[in-house]
Structure 1
């Protein structure tokens, strides 16, 4: 098992290291912050493609009986790549945060310290909490508490990563100063569409599928499920709604800017 776990623990940091070596040779004017940010986003996109592919396989294989159908990827993808990636990504996000302020000459960011770590956690609290919750809540549920049921729903949760490559592409295009090109605008539309479909609408869909399996209406499904299940889904869904609102507001400001209108005043 440890050899399998080490697979993901090597793949993601390894890719991050390779990108950090290659990108400065291609984009010689980039700062360390630019290189780390794009490297992090490229690795995130690779993991997202892997997770989405695994999700499609699991969902399509377990659609005949969404409660009892099994597929080995539902469990082993979490062990092989989910846990190592989430652990790595916290570190990569910290590096991106550190170098962003380091290149700006902030006094506290001359070297790594507890102060820089504390600043990162405070500024990126929701993202850090999201990663830790997946490691401490979703992992135990996936491995120990499902009683070999619900692989279909684990596959659905893998599909939430579908929006990540589009989010990453948007940041990379901005890094390349291509934020005004048609590709960035089209990508923005895909970000909103995939984020809404796979991170928000996905949850009513899973409740509907559960109700369809047991022959109960959608509005009655929450009362048919354990309280812990509903609370867990709410904890996952709440930050997605928050991030979606931020994306919509950002998209609206970009739309106003493209029309030559003054940007909306931020709260």
Structure 2
């Protein structure tokens, strides 16, 4: 399994480098910051679609929500773990170019500690990545004892919203916020985010209850407390991000 971890360490940074060089060669009018922005969003979308594909395979293969297993579940966790480290670095690089562009345009009158500024503006997503890497990774690989592949597949499906979010970020960077395409993409984000990142949690409780003949609202009292706490920790940032998406949608409607 460790070879998959090594493969992930090569795949994500390597794909980023190749994508950036492709853009620099074929789209010379793009700035360095633009090539980084597009590359970061492209790699995020690739990882997301891989996770969704893996999640679909797992869910469609596991008839018993607790006991059925699929080899790809742990395999993809091993392969995808380096993405969390890569993505933090990629987001920092993107932030660095953003600050450089502001300095070049004379928008930053005072010196900025880029690392501190990056952590302040991206604290939640960095924390989210670190929790997945330092807490969820060892639990999935070592401590769950092969149980719950179905639920892992459900969580992978949450990544379905990522390509649309990435596309929105790119449209915003290239000043296309007022286009119909941006608004349609925003509506898609809202719907997919709600179903795949919010409703997925009650769906997992419903699936467990159906498997064992327990009403969904009684499931939290029939499973270990740490499972419910873990779900709450994972769901909390999703609810926060959903409120941000709704707030942005309202502001666009008001305009």
The normalised TM-score by structure 1 is: 0.89
Tell me, in whole angstroms, the C-alpha distance in 1 between the residues paired with 2:206 and 2:20: 44
Q: CA RMSD in A?
A: 1.5
Residue among 175, 178, 197 paired with 1:199: 197
Give the aligned partner of residue 156 of structure 1.
Answer: 154
Give the aligned partner of residue 77 of structure 1.
Answer: 76
Tell me, in whole angstroms, the C-alpha distance in 1 between the residues paired with 2:2 and 2:145: 23
- Matched ranges for 1:113-262 at <5 A: 115-257=113-255
Give the aligned partner of residue 38 of structure 1.
Answer: 38
The question of whether the paired residues in 2 share the 8 Å contact of 1:20 and 1:39 is answered with yes
The question of whether the paired residues in 1 share the 8 Å contact of 2:168 and 2:185 is answered with yes
CA shift for structure 1 position 98? 1.3
Tell me the number of residue pairs that the alignment of Structure 1 and Structure 2 aligns: 250
Structure 2 gaps of 5+ residues are none
The question of whether the paired residues in 2 share the 8 Å contact of 1:31 and 1:103 is answered with no
Tell me, in whole angstroms, the C-alpha distance in 2 between the residues paired with 1:108 and 1:92: 22
Distance 1:21 1:243, change over 3 A: same
Per-residue Cα deviation, 1:149-175 (whole angstroms, up to 9, x for no partner): 100001011111000001011112223
CA shift for structure 1 position 50? 0.3
Per-residue Cα deviation, 1:3-39 (whole angstroms, up to 9, x for no partner): 3212111111111112222223444443332221221
Give the aligned partner of residue 65 of structure 1.
Answer: 64
CA shift for structure 1 position 251? 1.1
Tell me, in whole angstroms, the C-alpha distance in 2 between the residues paired with 1:219 and 1:102: 51
Per-residue Cα deviation, 1:91-129 (whole angstroms, up to 9, x for no partner): 1011111111112114646xxxxx422221122110110
The normalised TM-score by structure 2 is: 0.93
The question of whether the paired residues in 2 share the 8 Å contact of 1:45 and 1:168 is answered with yes
Tell me, in whole angstroms, the C-alpha distance in 2 between the residues paired with 1:187 and 1:123: 24
Structure 1 gaps of 5+ residues are 110-114, 258-267
Give the aligned partner of residue 54 of structure 1.
Answer: 54
